[in-house]
Structure 1
Amino acid sequence: MVRAFLALAVLLGALVDLSAGFKPADSSSSRFVPNSYFVEVDASSSALSKRGLTPFAALSRTLAAVEKKGIPYTVRQRFESLPDVFHGASIQVPEGTSVDELSQIEGVKRVWPVQKIVIPREPPIDDYVSTADSSMSSQPLAKRASKAEKRATTFPPASAYAGDTFYPHVETGIDALHNAGILGAGIKIAVLDAGVDYTNPLLGGCFGPGCHISFGYDFCGDNYNGDNTPVADSDPFTTCTSHGTHVTGIIGALANEYGLSGAAPQATLGHYRVAGCNDISSDDLIVAGMMRAVQDDVDVINVSLGSVVSWINNSPTQIVAEYLATQGIAVVASAGNDRTEGLFFAAGPAAGVATLAVGATDPLYWVAYNATVRNRGTVPYMSPMPFGLTGNYFLYFTSTDPSVAADACTALPSSTPSLTSRVVVVRRGGCDFAVKLANLAKAGAKIVLIYNSPNTLTLPQFNVGSTGLTAVGGLRYEDGVKLLEYYNTTPRGQLISFPVGPLVPGVVDGVTGGTVSYYSSYGATNDLTTYPSLAAPGTNILSTVAGGLGIMRGTSQSSPLVAGAYALILAQRKSENLTPQQLKSLFMTTSVSAPNTFGSSTPDSIVSQGAGRIDVGAALAAKTLISPSELNLNDTANSNRMQRITLTNRNSEAVTYTFSSSFAQGIVTYNNARYSLASRGASSDVIPSTTPNDFDSPPYNVLFSTLSLTVPAGGTASFTVSFTVARYTQQQAAQFPIYSGFVHIRATSASQKVQTFNVPFFGLAARMIDMPILDTTGVALGPVLPFLAVGQDIATGPITVSRSNPPTVYFRLAAGTRRLRVDLVAGDIDFQGTIPSVTNPSRRLAKRSTRERELVARATPTLFSDVPTVGSIFAPDYFPPRDYLVNGPYPFSDYEYALDGKYTKKDGTTGTAQSGVSYRVLIRALKITADPTLSSSYESWLSTPFQYSA
């Protein structure tokens, strides 16, 4: 992808100036590493034997062929340790080298651009702006080792973890395993992330043999930004960012006086650093890290980073992650924080058959410590660590009316008493937290408590930063109102103190606790596989950060909790040799469904929560293995209405299984789509909604081949589940609704022990072939897409351009596609696109009409290959995903190709467009389930003609 500002030019032709609303992005914001590609070599046994080569010789010969082709290169990473799955290298080549050129070289199997991967930022909260460096949100620990200090970790005994009350553990059943002494001993876990501050005493204080973090590697160095050369090092240490340290602590933090610990604190931990200080990685580093895990004999890998892929097994990271599962290495990955992108926005490497994609829920409980209110008892407040302030302080409320939303949003009045020795309490709302804190600090406040507004998202961790405040904490709404009552009814003033003490258990989040988090990405994949797989607490999770403790939120936090839980099960059930696929099934089928809203009895959609929130105690106890662990019913054109479920009874006694079902919340992809008789599909809402509506599914039936099965110990049996076709109107189908639910399996052993299992299912009540692929709106850029432009002037007719100031073609994908082609074609080509050549200056949505389809059927050759082209501009081997619209780093993403006249011929050689000859650009995107050999299977756009001046 090329993104560029182009200078305004004097042109001969038809142009319209749309500069007011047309703002291309700077090329530095590209989501790809400049001029860098994965080159996969065909290392199959048949290919190697035919050429008489070893895998390593094949790679060397292919790289030599690249250079012989006249393409000088430098190797970024070599991938030679797993020739059966992915053999090749990532290379950097001169600017202008195309995917097509590399794909045509002898020995090359596939080519992908190397993609930048940004470590997920904390999901935003409307009235809160997090610091750019998450380590600034920490509170420091008193005891900390020097990096240069060489020593071994002193490991707390197993008894130190008994009586576990850490809130994410209590909610997920990890506490019961800790109380039983199950702590992950003997299991090796690797974290792929942004580096780790192992000098933090809760992470053992050192690195290497004898230390808690005993192995690892730095693949990139501090200064890696995706555009420069990574500098490798054997030490994964960093304090310039806290993401990796926080993730590592969720897995393995050691017992301490604060009351938190990691999920698997006795597991052997390692860290592979794949991102620099600016939190940018690239997918070739992630692949290198995953391959390193094989050499280090790792059991579980956690990857709390990724990027949109839309499909399964479509990127090098996904391919390697899936292969690792066949080798007994479980990959657990965060599902992403891109909920505002809407449905069908799956990320890699999380999206996979064996890989576990973890979404996030809001915890049932708050992270809180107790403040003591004189003569009144205690009140919990949220902070990474207890304030630890000595003495008593009088309370002061800036407003005694809890309904005032703009509390402290303006400067405090001159009548305000001295606040230096008081605890100032304010209500959330009316302005950003930063504004409130600045006004309070200006008035002399040092200690501040902010209480939540009613029925609002949980509060974030507050950063003191440079405000001059000493401490800032959060309160639930009900606790703020309680303190206000004390304040109003204590004539001489209410005193409060903040003693040192551990976390307070059981502080209930009565607003969003237990629901899917507001940022957790939706599925499904374009292949209509379940995404996310399941969920775990991810909001406001307390863990280690650089130099201390901090609270962070995201699927980055839910994923390591599950990775640690995996280790607990593997440690306790080691003799069973559970495969990653079996582990995934155990966790999915024993999960607990999350409600669609707080307190609701309706489960959230499967494409929101997956199988539900993990229940580690149930997974440990489960001796029934269920396959498959999810039922994907597909779309209405390819419906899998009958599914077979196999039960394997690993109990020591016979078990009788009975079956039932329930339905989850329906959800739509396009909120405002309207059925069009002309187009036989959606006539608007080409872009999936960023806030998809709930949908009440029409009734449908789930029938079982038998209502019960008795399976002897060690036996296996199967039953079938049949789903009736739900009746949807054409209008409903135009919104692409997803219906979902659960098959419930109740297992009763001969000794009357009972356990329940849940198998999620979902289907699409529309045809994937009807999903619009090319964006034909002006939502992202302003002008209606696609279009051809020179500078900020958009072509509306034939134009003549200079090679020094070439035109650029702009387009976006509103959905993923299995085949995308951008070709240079003759200006007089006999072809009618499905989208008009000129979409501007009109701001109306480009229509896909019956008339256009009829023209296409008459004018377009039957076969895709029959369309005459001059050469290829962009023809990726992989399946491109949908573009970002809201939450990307730009914030949107698009395709912007500068047409400098160069193209790739079918034989892989480079051609150059002639001067004075008329050309067009032809974009074709395959509809998701359509036949790629047919021309009618593609959405297409043909640009206005252009020619190069002499």
Structure 2
Amino acid sequence: MEHARLNLYHQTWLIRSVINMSWLRRLALPVLLAGAALPVLADDTVPQGVTQEPLPNTYIVELEDGETTKAYLEALRAEPGVDEVTERFAYSPSLFNAVSFEVKGSLTSTPDSLRRRMEDLPELRVRHIWPVEAVPAPTYPGEVFSVDSLAPNARRAAAEAFPPHEMIQVDKLHDLGYAGNSTRIGVVDSGVDWRHPALGGCFGPGCLIEYGYDLVGENYNGDPTTLSPDEDPYEQCNGHGTLVSGVIAAQHNQLGFIGAAPGVRLGVYRTFSCAGASSTDVMIAAIIRAAEDGSDIITMSVGHHSGWAGTPLAAAMSRVSKLTGIPCVAAAGNTDGGGYGVFSAAAPSSGEGVLSIGSVQSTRTPTFGPDGVTYVPSDSGGFVSGFSLWGPTHEGHFKPQFCAPGGQILTTAPGGYTVTSGTSFAAPITAASIALLFDVRGKMSPAEVENILAITSKPVPYGGGDGNEPVAHQGAGMIQVLDAAYSTTRISTSGLSFNDTEFLVPEHEFTISNNGDAPVFYELTHLEALSAEAVWPANGYRRSEPEYLPQVSSLKIEPSSITIQPGAKAAVRVSVTPPEGVNAAGLPVYGGFVSIKATTGDEVAALSVPYLGVAAVMREHHVLAIPEQFYFWREDDPIMLALPDNVVFQLPVPVAHPDWARDPVLDADNYIPPGILPAWNFWVRSGSRTVRYEVFSIAPSCRGPKPVVYENVNGDETLGNFAGFPRHFEDMRGKWFTWTGQLADGTYAPPGKYGVRLYALRHFGDYNNPADWSVNEHPQHFGLSYVEV
């Protein structure tokens, strides 16, 4: 118990440290989307406990079709208590009918009243409201070797295949003359050093970096007045986008490597300033602009931890992919050697229809030496990278879709070259592979791309022993782009989800189509993969590094073999038996593959369909921290010691209630000194779609009004939520906040004695069903008094 308490202190201290930083300093912290540090290797990670914070009074509002953002902002500006509304980004009505803006005025002092006002403007239908969140900048602290410092022919083994290309068959398509020449790829990132000789050395029509935009400028710090967009995405102060661009399309250079699709034309969209700042509304604007500028593929290797498909960044990229038919690729995200566990795919990769890409380690590690670059065999080569985040999403969506090389990758850097690791680099090599696929097959829809890459991917073995890596970590496996380009078999699904045991899908059916010109004999067998335990069974807390389990599921596949004539198709039925002998309290996630051997004469093709399930009733999992870790403390206490029962907080008197003011009490042990706020924690153990933090009355003050109470959906009497609640799409981390006595409706709890309850909606829970909520009642009660301070 004490160990768990210390963990909570550690996490909340880190989050507290982040909250107390300036917004700009917070953004200077590294982002999530690249991986593990190695000598001479670039890397970018995010410290454990760091979270993305909302920008003050800044929102994205999505409107129903037919509404206009201009009319919405005009109506909001006319509201009492609103002094100023500054538009940040107005998005395309056909793709994402939304606008981001900052609000100033007295109404912002009651955020929940402001939110209700924004939702209920007369004759305007609002679909969603989200806060705009800060996104920390990607970094790569590894060594960069400048172009000028390298010998004209610095590669020792010029005839040696480039390992990342060799692993996914890109080299074979290069040998056939394919380079992505007909494709435009939009890169949403930090910008690019287009002056780099391996990136063409120019910007504009006829150049490799042919189009793009700088959405932020040099000095953006979150304040909309510091946005200074322009037509040129050039930057050298961060460099992450230069690394990504080189993975896609580096031209021939003295190190002897090229990008996976050197014939494409790139559009780069700069979303980070030299001050290290970006935000979710900037990134959404970049995605939409990349689509409107005619990109055939969009790839994104920046974002934030999520695990949910419903966050604005994930929802926007999903919407763009669905409405435009543009395949959208995003890095699955990284963790610094553990820390996020299952259900943690980053946004926007967590979006429906977005291709989430995990990372596999390169089979050989490039190293710089006096004779240039040499390649050394890697013991971890070919295995899923430890930093690569896990799926599925909390909604149960299949993530990641598949993996590609992202560990120990040689690429361009501002003014030179570097070796880097992360899903940041698995995503762009996948985007480049799709461009090669387009060369062979022509343009394809996002669903067609996902399908052909998934069924031709190669399952990845477990790097720590026998068996295959869990499907929740590798998705369909490592892509094989040559096989995808020339496969004549079509399968009607990219993956099978069997759900949890409460909602277990009893049987899936899919079809196999033979689009070739000869009969094909198909043999279908079960390829097992390891399971993974998502949480600690003893206490329900997430495992930052999931526990690999040897227990595997079993499949019944009918038929087990079939011959399909050219142009014909056949149905296959699959049912699952979840693994036995696992502890359901650990939320074991299982999976495997329907392995399909396709024989045409002497030719044999290996195909597979991944599947996934949870061997537990997700709705029974108590998603909140145990009651002993639910407590409050004084905001000025750096150790965060829990306070005893019946302390009295003397809070600043609300402006609207000067009559509540009382003389401060200075000499009583149970009275907290005047003006010091209570601090409260909450810890969601495995994610929740909705978290409520509600206050209930124990006894009203004899010198104040009686509190107004109502019965909530759980049947409990309550004054309502703390200001700032309910919160939505919460991930699996501890957080804390201070309280002034204000409630979610903008009113204040009157003087009196109170308790609090924390409610979190369980996985797949029904908001209106009390049984679907995890509930913790605070073991200590407290008093509220208001004083002049």
TM-score bucket (shorter structure): 0.7 to 0.9
Q: Does 1:518 align with 2:366?
A: no
How big is the shift at 1:65? 2.6
The 5 Å alignment of 1:665-676 reads 665-671=530-536, 673-674=537-538
Aligned partner letter, 2:111: S
* Deviates most, 920-929 or 862-871: 862-871
The 5 Å alignment of 1:922-941 reads 922-941=757-776
Aligned partner letter, 2:574: V
Change (3 A) 1:267 1:736: same
In structure 2, how many angstroms separate the alpha carbons of the residues matched to 1:822 and 1:96?
A: 19
Pick from 687, 690, 713: which aligns with 1:816? Answer: 687
Pick from 611, 620, 636: which aligns with 1:770? Answer: 620
Q: Deviations over 1:457-478 (max 9, x none)?
A: xxxxxxxxxxxxxxxxxxxxxx
Give the aligned partner of residue 608 of structure 1. 473
Q: Does 1:946 align with 2:786?
A: no
Give the aligned partner of residue 547 of structure 2. 693
In structure 1, how many angstroms separate the alpha carbons of the residues matched to 2:277 and 2:298?
A: 19
Q: Structure 2: which 5+ residue stretches go unaligned?
A: 1-7, 27-50, 151-157, 653-674, 701-709
Instruction: Indicate if the aligned counterparts of 2:12 and 2:735 stay in contact, CA closer than 8 A.
Output: no
Give the aligned partner of residue 894 of structure 1. 735
Give the aligned partner of residue 483 of structure 2. 618
Instruction: Indicate if the aligned counterparts of 1:588 and 1:629 stay in contact, CA closer than 8 A.
Output: yes
Instruction: Indicate if the aligned counterparts of 2:52 and 2:304 stay in contact, CA closer than 8 A.
Output: no
Instruction: Indicate if the aligned counterparts of 1:536 and 1:614 stay in contact, CA closer than 8 A.
Output: yes
Give the aligned partner of residue 418 of structure 1. none
In structure 1, how many angstroms separate the alpha carbons of the residues matched to 2:524 and 2:592?
A: 14
Give the aligned partner of residue 435 of structure 2. 567
Instruction: Indicate if the aligned counterparts of 1:309 and 1:315 stay in contact, CA closer than 8 A.
Output: no
In structure 2, how many angstroms separate the alpha carbons of the residues matched to 1:85 and 1:646?
A: 34
Q: Deviations over 1:45-72 (max 9, x none)?
A: xxx4xxxxxx32x542355235514234
Change (3 A) 1:947 1:518: same
Q: The residue matched to 1:636 in structure 2 has which SS?
A: coil
Change (3 A) 1:866 1:777: closer
How big is the shift at 1:559? 0.9
Instruction: Indicate if the aligned counterparts of 2:502 and 2:617 stay in contact, CA closer than 8 A.
Output: yes
The 5 Å alignment of 1:68-79 reads 68-79=79-90
Query: Sequence identity, in percent?
Result: 27
Aligned partner letter, 2:145: Q
Pick from 337, 361, 377: which aligns with 1:508? Answer: 377
Give the aligned partner of residue 56 of structure 2. 35
The 5 Å alignment of 1:229-244 reads 229-244=226-241
Give the aligned partner of residue 391 of structure 1. none
How big is the shift at 1:710? 3.7
Aligned partner letter, 2:718: P
The 5 Å alignment of 1:138-217 reads 138-142=144-148, 165-217=161-213
Aligned partner letter, 1:548: G
In structure 2, how many angstroms separate the alpha carbons of the residues matched to 1:329 and 1:83?
A: 14
How big is the shift at 1:653? 3.7
The 5 Å alignment of 1:177-576 reads 177-226=173-222, 229-338=226-335, 339-367=338-366, 382-383=367-368, 387=370, 498=371, 507-509=376-378, 511-574=379-442
Aligned partner letter, 2:468: P
Change (3 A) 1:197 1:657: same
* Deviates most, 257-266 or 336-345: 336-345
In structure 1, how many angstroms separate the alpha carbons of the residues matched to 2:240 and 2:587?
A: 37
In structure 1, how many angstroms separate the alpha carbons of the residues matched to 2:173 and 2:521?
A: 27
Give the aligned partner of residue 101 of structure 1. 114
How big is the shift at 1:817? 0.8
Pick from 745, 752, 756: which aligns with 2:606? Answer: 756
* Deviates most, 613-622 or 30-39: 30-39
Q: Deviations over 1:257-316 (max 9, x none)?
A: 321111111111110001123544211111001110121011111110121221224334
How big is the shift at 1:109? 2.5
Q: The residue matched to 2:688 in structure 1 has which SS?
A: coil
Q: Does 1:918 align with 2:753?
A: yes
Give the aligned partner of residue 650 of structure 2. 801
In structure 1, how many angstroms separate the alpha carbons of the residues matched to 2:318 and 2:277?
A: 20
Q: Does 1:739 align with 2:583?
A: no
Aligned partner letter, 1:111: I
Q: The residue matched to 1:613 in structure 2 has which SS?
A: coil
Q: Which has the higher contact order (CA 8 A, sep 6+)?
A: 1
In structure 1, how many angstroms separate the alpha carbons of the residues matched to 2:271 and 2:735?
A: 26
Q: Give the root-mean-square deviation of aligned CA atoms.
A: 2.9
Give the aligned partner of residue 30 of structure 2. none
Q: Deviations over 1:840-884 (max 9, x none)?
A: xxxxxxxxxxxxxxxxxxxx979437643345523357422222x
TM-score by length of 1: 0.69
How big is the shift at 1:207? 0.8
Instruction: Indicate if the aligned counterparts of 1:816 and 1:879 stay in contact, CA closer than 8 A.
Output: yes
In structure 2, how many angstroms separate the alpha carbons of the residues matched to 1:814 and 1:86?
A: 34
Q: The residue matched to 1:175 in structure 2 has which SS?
A: helix
Instruction: Indicate if the aligned counterparts of 1:539 and 1:554 stay in contact, CA closer than 8 A.
Output: yes
How big is the shift at 1:625? 2.5
Give the aligned partner of residue 132 of structure 2. 114
How big is the shift at 1:218? 0.8
Q: Deviations over 1:868-913 (max 9, x none)?
A: 3345523357422222xxxxxxxxx6131x22232333xxxx3233
Q: The residue matched to 2:317 in structure 1 has which SS?
A: helix
**Which structure has the larger Rg over C-alpha atoms?**
1
In structure 1, how many angstroms separate the alpha carbons of the residues matched to 2:455 and 2:444?
A: 15
How big is the shift at 1:581? 1.0
In structure 2, how many angstroms separate the alpha carbons of the residues matched to 1:281 and 1:776?
A: 36
Give the aligned partner of residue 696 of structure 2. 825
Instruction: Indicate if the aligned counterparts of 2:313 and 2:347 stay in contact, CA closer than 8 A.
Output: no
How big is the shift at 1:932? 1.3
Q: The residue matched to 2:61 in structure 1 has which SS?
A: strand
Pick from 516, 537, 540: which aligns with 1:651? Answer: 516
Instruction: Indicate if the aligned counterparts of 1:822 and 1:875 stay in contact, CA closer than 8 A.
Output: yes
In structure 1, how many angstroms separate the alpha carbons of the residues matched to 2:381 and 2:103?
A: 47
In structure 2, how many angstroms separate the alpha carbons of the residues matched to 1:605 and 1:73?
A: 51
Aligned partner letter, 2:533: V
How big is the shift at 1:818? 1.7
In structure 1, how many angstroms separate the alpha carbons of the residues matched to 2:609 and 2:563?
A: 19
In structure 1, how many angstroms separate the alpha carbons of the residues matched to 2:11 and 2:434?
A: 50
Give the aligned partner of residue 60 of structure 1. 71
Q: The residue matched to 2:439 in structure 1 has which SS?
A: helix
Q: Deviations over 1:86-116 (max 9, x none)?
A: 4232434465342563244323322111112
Instruction: Indicate if the aligned counterparts of 2:523 and 2:560 stay in contact, CA closer than 8 A.
Output: yes
* Deviates most, 74-83 or 260-269: 74-83
Change (3 A) 1:172 1:20: closer
Q: The residue matched to 1:308 in structure 2 has which SS?
A: coil
Q: The residue matched to 1:556 in structure 2 has which SS?
A: helix
Pick from 70, 73, 98: which aligns with 1:87? Answer: 98
How big is the shift at 1:594? 1.5
Instruction: Indicate if the aligned counterparts of 1:334 and 1:350 stay in contact, CA closer than 8 A.
Output: yes
Change (3 A) 1:529 1:554: same
* Deviates most, 312-321 or 513-522: 312-321
